[in-house]
Amino acid sequence: MKYIIIPDTAIWSVNRGKQENESSNIIYRDKSGRGHYIDFDVCATNFKAEHGISSGNCIGERKMDEYYFVFYTSGIKTKIVFKKMYVGNLFRYHRLSGSKATRFLALQNLIKETRYTTYDLS
């Protein structure tokens, strides 16, 4: 299966949709510095279309033992991989620092703060 693969260190922010009419998404930068986003509403729709039994809140899959998330973005799925063993404090809005496991769990918890979830493949 083909994916857009990005490292977790490319994540710029996670918008949890706390404000009314604010969408939940992940914003990341590609190697050229251009911004892209993973829209959770779109991912939930795509996940439900592929897996008919979905509640409509699942946006993708996660695999803790291999440290990755797959989001059901339109067209090709987006895979966020956690490669570096440790990431220090970055000089930008970035909530994911520390060990691979810490960063993975931090992203999982940020997603939990929205109305969305990911399916555990571990």
For residue 29, the Cα-to-chain-centroid distance in whole angstroms is: 13
How many CB atoms sit inside 10 A of residue 121's CB? 12
Q: pLDDT band at 93, cuts 50/70/90? A: very low
* 8-state DSSP, 97: -
Question: Could you tell me the residue range of the domain that residue 18 belongs to?
Answer: 3-120
- The string of pLDDT tens digits covering residues 4-13 is 999 998 988 8
Comparing 108 with 52, the larger pLDDT belongs to 108
According to the model, what pLDDT value does residue 62 have? 97
Task: Give me the amino acid identity at 45.
Answer: T
d(CA 5, CA 80): 6
pLDDT of residue 88: 62
**pLDDT surpassing 60 at residue 92:** no
Based on the number of CB atoms within 10 Å of its own CB, is 116 exposed (0-12), middle (13-18) or buried (19 or more)? buried
Kindly report, residue by residue over 15-48, the tens digit of the pLDDT: 877 666 678 999 999 989 999 999 999 999 999 9
Residue 91, pLDDT score:
44
Question: What pTM value is reported for the model?
Answer: 0.87
The tally of domains found in the chain comes to 1
pLDDT for 44-79, tens place per residue? 999 999 998 778 899 999 999 999 999 999 999 999
**Residue 14, helix vs strand vs coil:** strand
